[in-house]
Amino acid sequence: MQIRVARHAGVCYGVERALELAEEAVGSGKVVRTLGPLIHNPQAVAALKGRGVEVAGCLDEADDGTLVIRSHGVDPAIIETARAKGLDVVDATCPFVSKAHDAARELKAGGYAVVIVGEADHPEVEGINAHAGGDAIIVQTPEELPERFSNRRIGIVVQTTQSADRLAAVVQAILPRVTELRVFNTICSATAKRQLSAEELASEVDAMVVVGGHNSGNTTRLAEICARVNPRTHHVETSDELDPAWFEGAMVVGVTAGASTPDAQMAGVIAAIEALG
């Protein structure tokens, strides 16, 4: 059984940066907490906990030491409050997410009604919405759009891990209904590359495995994209979830991983698949 790995797969710059900043904070000797899971990868978060990095569910759970802002970003008011409490704040917001924040603020300041293409309950989208004034319209599909817009000038910003197809569908649905539409394509390049290479590989192999947190939006979308072209697509976090039955009769197996999946985690799954062959 041959294993092929997608050209673009695994941990991205923003996640690497966040992990490095958290590790540096540990070296300060102070109590270190992240505000929510640093990244959407349970194994990486558990490894950080082993280094002494705790997860604070809210600011009330962080009274001293260093607070690391997760890669997904937060409402800027949270950072202000944390600093006012005397916490040392390390902002590990992904630079691509910061660009989405900037775009949302610019649209709001320009008088546009802001539409965010993304998951309403995702922490990244919550942060983008805060930068847009807190009253953005949040949708993933055209069907979720309101029947009428109170403002005929619409500005769109998109969650960095969404797919280009979803963004395009919303744009096409809004365009005939407004007098002005401004679009910031804030899908990060790492996400776009991973989605394209995963789809290409999935169409060329007998079975496909996508590695990453089940709570990871970007990994879940990789699995969705792969499943559209290859029904034998499976999303796992670790090698323990692999089922030998998935690979019966498979000559070539493709592997990709989400942008929040450390290389060692992907390597472990690849080694386990090899052992099955």
Q: Are 66 and 28 in contact (CB under 8 A)?
A: yes
Q: Are 95 and 72 in contact (CB under 8 A)?
A: no
3-class secondary structure, 112? coil
Determine the angle formed by the axes of helices 42-50 and 13-26, rounding to 10 degrees.
20
In single-letter form, the type of residue at position 132 comes to A
> Residue 160's closest CA among 13, 7, 272?
13
How is the chain split among helix, strand and coil, in percent rounded to 5? 45, 20, 35
Would you say the C-alpha torsion 132, 136, 140, 145 has a positive or negative sign?
negative
Task: Name the phi and psi angles at 87, rounded to 5.
Answer: -80, 145
**Which candidate in 124, 126, 199, 237 is catalytic?**
124
Cα 230 to the chain's mean position, in Å?
23
- Is 124 one of the annotated active-site residues of the chain? yes
The CA distance from 25 to 47, in Å, is 15
Q: Are 259 and 12 in contact (CB under 8 A)?
A: yes
Helix (H) or strand (E) holding 172: helix 164-174
Catalytic residues: 124
